Amino acid sequence: MPDEPLTISAAAPLIRTGELTPSELLEQCLRRIDIYEPAVQAWVYLDRQRARREAERLTDAVKKGDYRGPLHGIPIGVKDIIDVFDMPTGCGSKLWANSYARRDATVVERLRAAGALILGKTVTTPFAFTDPPKTRNPWNLDRTPGGSSSGSAAAVACGMCLGALGTQTGGSLTRPASYCGVCSLKPSYGRVSVEGVLPLAPDLDHVGVMANCVRDLAILFEVIAAPVLACTSLVDSGPDQVELYQLHDYFDAAEPDLLEIYRTATRAIEPPEVRQLKLPTGFSEIPSAHLTTMSVGAASVHAERLNRHGDDYPPRIRELIQQGLMSTAIDLSNASRLRIQLRRQFKKALKEFTVLMTPATSDLPPSLETTGRPVFNFPWSFLEYPTVSVPAGRSEVGLPVSIQLIAGDNNEPHLLASAAWAERCFAFPHRLPPVPA
């Protein structure tokens, strides 16, 4: 088997011409699962026979001329807070482990309509917060894969599926994607439907995607976004113009070793000019405002159930809910006012071709007792702007490091094209993780 993970972009033309069938591709993914899953534990639910029947149906469809596009027959993992018909939506809960969904979430409906093969449910941290999951980082089994979209990132990194759905309320797409060495897209808030997705904090929740290259993100996003945005053609042609900015005095939270990898990667960008953007007034208040918004949202969703089933909630999500219950209307109003104020200031800076660039994480993957710190991620979840993370280098011990790109509201086409351009500059060598002993 090849050492590089197969991308959607590479598999799609082979499926279209019949050189590779959906059934053959599925078996490749299942072999990867056999190799990696016992150690990595990325999946909470798999139905191999159901997947094989679906792959056979999709194979027959190609033979009959019913090819639905670049996702036809592509195995996709779905984070286990997103409903998939007749699969359990466990949400990391012991009590919901056998709670089968009665319909597909809207985002899953869109994937199926495009011919995607829904392979199974990937592990989430409990209720998509920060209590650690069972999943391990495939690059070092003693390190966290990040969270809360832990299983999605690990599964894509190992080639168990070619793409995956995740969600982000703070840093739950960007961080695990970076820790596991895959690409991620967190779209603008509201760009992808959250119907059929368990909320953590409704005012902050985003549905996004992970894959092994930026072009694959564009393919997935074109299918799940509403309204539909043409992204792949712009990714292929390249952006007309890119104005890169870094936020001045923003990187203090980054570990020195990671920051050096980031600086090395940015020097590979051509042209090399990266301008400095001064942090707007009030930016330092985002951590508190984001936490208030998230905790109040979590309390509104979970407080009643926490009272009835307290043992089903591990410590960190329980603490978040309790903090939300203690917050006041004034606290929430102040957080909302800050978001409006900062979005007004950023709107002046985030023009059509402007892209902000930061490290995707502040650290290398830490131990299994944590899911890492989202300090470079939650500002953009709070401000609702789209972000892409792209692997750009490795640490001395082989752990992947990614760069995060941010654009203005609903500017995903330019953001993805800019990220693909940066990806070519970084020339990150994608390869599969070592086979567990």
Catalytic residue IDs: 79, 148, 172
166: phi > 0 → left, psi -120 to 50 → alpha, else beta; which?
Answer: beta
Beta bridge partners of 79: 122
Beta bridge partners of 197: 82
Q: What residues have CB less than 8 Å from 329, skipping those under 6 apart?
A: none
Cα–Cα distance between 116 and 230 in angstroms, integer?
Answer: 19
* b (16+ CB within 10 A) / e for 364-400: bbbebebbbbbbbbbbbbbbbbbbbbbbbbbbeeebb
Closest to 247 in 3D by CA, of 281, 274, 272, 279? 279
Instruction: Give the single-character DSSP code of 100.
Output: B
Q: What would the DSSP string read from start to end of 171-233?
A: STTHHHHHHHT-EEEE--TTSS--TTB--S-TTT-EEEEEESSHHHHHHHHHHH-SS----HH
Q: What residues have CB less than 8 Å from 220, skipping those under 6 apart?
A: 8, 71, 111, 163, 185, 209, 211
Q: How far apart, in Å, are the Cα atoms of 166 and each of 230, 286, 428?
A: 21, 23, 23
Q: Which H or E element spans position 407?
A: none
Cα–Cα distance between 265 and 247 in angstroms, integer?
Answer: 17
Closest to 155 in 3D by CA, of 58, 57, 80, 223? 80
Closest to 42 in 3D by CA, of 131, 142, 149? 149
Pairing of strands 117-122, 43-46: antiparallel
Q: Which two tokens stand for residue 70?
A: 């670049």
Q: Which two tokens stand for residue 299?
A: 């309390």
Closest to 359 in 3D by CA, of 346, 373, 339? 373
